[in-house]
Amino acid sequence: MLQPKVLLFFFYFLKFAGFLRNKITFILHLTKYHPSQARANLKAADELPGRIGFLGLGIMGSPMAQNLIKAGCDVTVWNRTKSKCDALINLGAKYKPSPEEVAASCDVTFAMLADPESAIDVACGKHGAAIDGSTSKLINEHIKATGALFLEAPVSGSKKPAEDGQLIFLTAGDKSLYDTVSPFLDIMGKSRFYLGEVGNGAAMKLVVNMIMGSMMASFSEGLLLSEKVGLDPNVLVEVVSQGAISAPMYSLKGPSMVKSLYPTAFPLKHQQKDLRLALELAESVSQSTPIAAAANELYKVAKSHGLNDEDFSAVIEVLKAKSKE
């Protein structure tokens, strides 16, 4: 059985000294499970704790918590905006008014937080997209100083994969905690990787999102160019989706982008944040990233146009505006 009072962060897996006493940590390994198989494994191994907490119920956290509830977990939730807890409460979740109370009342607590500030607030016991490696290391040092151990686990995937239990977990930290919590990751995701030392999970997430942001900017240029020269951009989406450069993102986002619709799965403000952090990471090791830097400028302009909360595919609107100048 899992030791009581463990707090697990999807951007950070950690344990608060004030109310979490047993030392546990985390690690990564590539494994693929279907969620139903993961649930069966949990029950067979008798590893399902009685009480699970979940902090942060945004675009990603809410469906992830729902999957835990559907797997039979007794879930207690918290979010800064309480109304976001209501749907989960209706599914059977309990509610506590602070992260401290959730963690104190649960055997295992998961947190899904969008930025370094929120992660630090929660890690320090205050009411608080990818996090940078320096923040991971800062929180790791803080947690270790209290006598506890730490695990980070950024996710690759957006709203739909979170709903479908198809996320990819990029973990770093202690191997024993990774082994302990992996059945829960298998409920919420399709793959999990162990990347070694704390900071590596955050770094991998930033590299992945740097590539994704650059791909979306280039894809946007292609859609607009095809239309300008008299081609059907819908056909371009089909051609790209069937060729060597096919990626699920193109077939998923392309049809909506052609219609100028941008239903939010990954907010544009988070994409720009991740590009900024990736560029800082590259600068720290003297790696040239001119394509990502150019893409970052487009997303910055998109934010100035009020597109912060739109899906990151809305970056195409900046290019449309430029073509009219």
Q: Where are the strands (E) in the chain, listed by range? A: 6-9, 31-32, 52-55, 75-78, 94-95, 108-111, 151-152, 155-156, 167-173, 189-194
Q: Which tokens belong to 222? A: 């292609």
- Asked if 30 contacts 51 with a C-beta cutoff of 8 angstroms, the reply is no
Is 217 in contact with 79 (CB distance < 8 Å)?
Answer: no
Asked whether the beta carbons of 172 and 201 are under 8 A apart, the reply is yes
Specify whether 159 is catalytic. no
| Contacts (Cβ under 8 Å, ≥6 apart) of 207 | 278, 281
Handedness of CA 192, 197, 202, 204 (dihedral sign): negative
If phi > 0 it is left, if psi is from -120 to 50 it is alpha, else beta; for residue 230 that is left
Q: What are phi and psi of 262, to 5 degrees?
A: -135, 65
Catalytically annotated residue among 5, 15, 96, 205? 205
Instruction: Specify the long-range contacts of residues 131-135, CB closer than 8 Å, at least 24 apart.
Output: 131/11, 131/12, 131/202, 131/205, 132/202, 132/206, 132/277, 132/280, 132/281, 133/199, 133/200, 133/202, 133/203, 133/206, 133/281, 134/199, 135/202
Contacts of 39 (CB under 8 A, 6+ apart): 71, 72, 187
Q: Does residue 317 sit in helix, strand or coil?
A: helix
Q: What's the Cα-to-Cα distance from 167 to each of 75, 250, 260, 267, rounded to whole Å?
A: 20, 18, 27, 17
Kindly list the catalytic residues.
205
